[in-house]
Chains A and B, each alone.
Chain A
Amino acid sequence: MASNENGAGKQEVLLEIRDLKTHFALDEGTVRAVDGVDLDVRRKQVVGVVGESGCGKSMTAMSVMRLVPPPGQIVEGEIRFHRQFDDRADAKDIVDLAQFESNDRQLRDIRGNQISMVFQEPMTALSPVRTVGKQITEAILLHQDVNKTEARDIAIETLARVKMPNPEQRFDDYPFQLSGGMRQRAVIAMALACRPQLLIADEPTTALDVTTEAQILDLMRELQAESDMAILYITHNLGVVAEMAEEVVVMYLGKVVERCDVDSIFYNPKHPYTRGLLNSIPRLEDVLQDKREKLNAIEGMVPSPYQRLQGCAFHPRCPDFMPGVCDEAEPQLIQLEEGHAVRCHLYT
């Protein structure tokens, strides 16, 4: 769990996603990648988004960045970003990112500046023919009123912040001269160069080996603690969530099925899908005591993305399936207690 939980009560809201729907109109039918997601990120908070591949977690992130690849489109919903300006602490304005064209000037001012993103694959996130330094300074020159030398200094300083060894030397290196871990540090430095208020991390450690993963996770936690940055951390790895997030959002087929703080998700999961996910993590003590030999899996398969199920999307795989209820009406997100919401008929 993140260690920097501020004692001063709830932080103010930074990002509010309301009923976001991002659909892909394909020849085979419409894929509802994100289908009515509600999500809040407060300032300085780390929110983890978990779910299987194809549950829409990455597309939620891409929607916030407004970088959904065509033919994907935001068809409904709001992404309200509470922008804060450094020079005026009280002055804020709220912009709805969903309303812009994806190449809009105003949007590009926010993108890479106040909201930035770290991507999955550090190997392919950097252009192979431009130096690391050039790719970092680009964003600095774009968003800040500095000249090239100052931008270089900021970039090197940022590289040092992400604990890149020999930052000055690495600045002039090409991406293929760096190891995977160093590349991901460079990518993180690129995202942090303009000191964003919100960092979206889309499985930033999935492509790395375990040791490097641990280092990068440590680094991200430290960076978050020393700045005022909030992180929206997208992953399929519950272990990473436990380590990084304060609040967790569980997604299934484009919808949020459970939302609560990180302790509740592990000790008091409500949604059958969340329980299934937790149950599928192998436990060392069980293996040692011969309690079980096989991994527990959630029954069945994720339904075809073109199919639209009546009722709860999880009902064909659900162990607590109630015929006549779950396959009839779509469950709503219900507030069970303060900070714990679940989308399941068991609790209505």
Chain B
Amino acid sequence: MIVYIIQRVMRMIPLLFLLSLVAFLIIQLPPGDYLTEHINALRASGRDVDEAEVERLMKQYALDRPMHVQYLTWIQNILFKGSFGQSFQWGRPVNEVIGDKMALTFLLAIFTTIFVWAISVPIGIYVSVRQYTFTDYLFTMIGFIGLAVPGFLLAMVVMYFSFAWFGLKVGGLFSPAFELEPWSIAKFQNMLTRIWVPVLILGIGGTAHIIRIMRATMLDELRKQYVTVARSKGLSEFAVLMNYPVRIAINPLISSLGFLLPWIISGGTVVEIVLNLPTAAVVLYRSLLSQDMFLAGSFILLVGTLALVGSLLADIALAAVDPRIRFGSVEEM
């Protein structure tokens, strides 16, 4: 197991390097950079630009130097100083801008996953043992509707009805009173009363997906002989299901856990914009629009890193529940 983890971590290093290259290239690809744009905009509006300040920033980020030097400067700052640079748009260090948003996004991802799993895993198991019955078709239909309806539309519908019927404004994660407050237990509680809306909307699409995966893998496993053998021991049907086919059918889901965060960020952006959530996806989107290169680059790097770490954790979790991976057995059973 330890050997497996070490191997797995070692394999991440080149990937991380490639990831940083890609993140850097992406922020360099659009012509121009934020600083030049910014100065131009200021000059165009006839305002004075502090030449010394510009000079200082140019130097700090090596913007006047060739690309590879820029990359090295950028990555060195991250690795050795823990500094992701300055967000020009926000006028604050990237670290400050990102920290809060990332935490909220993370929270949202975790809540959404719990919601999706809590609903779809039991349903997936249930419909697999009731294949081709009315309930199976019913849940399949509901699931596909959930999958087909775009999240932002659902978000708008939910917002409309909650306002029209209950007089609730469901946008945002906090009540206005708590919006700018520092974190406290009261603020957290306030968030809990509001977070269910985005969780519900983001989760519905994922639910159908997980139900289908669970149903398909369960149907595969249910056909296998060890299930009949388990029944032949006299176990109750519930015990048979939980201890045998479910134990194996859950594995693909565990391995998909690693891609949760990228999924929330890339899939939920529109929903989060509609719902006015202060999450990472929205900030990333804006930073890309305004060529806020250090912010965007850091986001891409961070999200990518988290995806890698996520899949590492998922792999370790998978190895923990599936001995075939732990012992490196390739035999198909």
Using a CB–CB distance below 8 Å, which chain A residues touch chain B? Answer: 65, 67, 69, 103, 108-113, 116-117, 119-121, 123-131, 138-139, 142-143, 174-177, 187, 190-191
Contact = CB atoms under 8 A, between A and B. Distances in A.
Contacts of B229: 117, 119, 125-126, 187, 190
Contacts of B232: 65, 67, 111-112, 116-117, 119, 191
A111 B237 CA distance: 13
B234 A111 contact: yes
B90 to A, nearest CB: 49
Nearest to B321: A129
B225 A176 contact: no
9 contacts: A67-B231, A124-B225, A125-B225, A129-B322, A138-B233, A143-B234, A176-B324, A176-B331, A191-B232
Contacts of A139: 233-235
B79 interface: no
B324 A129 contact: yes
B61 interface: no
B235 A119 contact: no
B234 A128 contact: no
Nearest to B227: A127
Contacts of B276: none
Nearest to B323: A174
Contact of A126 (B226, B231, B247, B321): B226
Contacts of B235: 108, 112, 138-139, 142
Interface in B277-333: 321-324, 327, 329, 331, 333
Contact of A190 (B231, B233, B331): B233
Interface of B: 224-226, 228-237, 243-244, 247-248, 321-324, 327, 329, 331, 333
A128 B324 contact: yes
Given A130-B243, A176-B333, A177-B327, 11 more contacts: A109-B234, A112-B232, A113-B234, A116-B232, A128-B323, A138-B230, A138-B233, A142-B233, A142-B234, A174-B327, A175-B333
Contacts of B226: 124-128
Q: Which of A67, A127, A190 has the most chain B CB within a 10 Å cutoff?
A: A127
Nearest to A70: B131
A176 B331 CA distance: 8
A116 B229 CA distance: 10
Nearest to B236: A108
A120 B228 CA distance: 12
A124 B323 contact: no
A152 B117 CA distance: 34
Contacts of A117: 229, 232
A116 B234 CA distance: 9
A5 to B, nearest CB: 29
B107 to A, nearest CB: 32
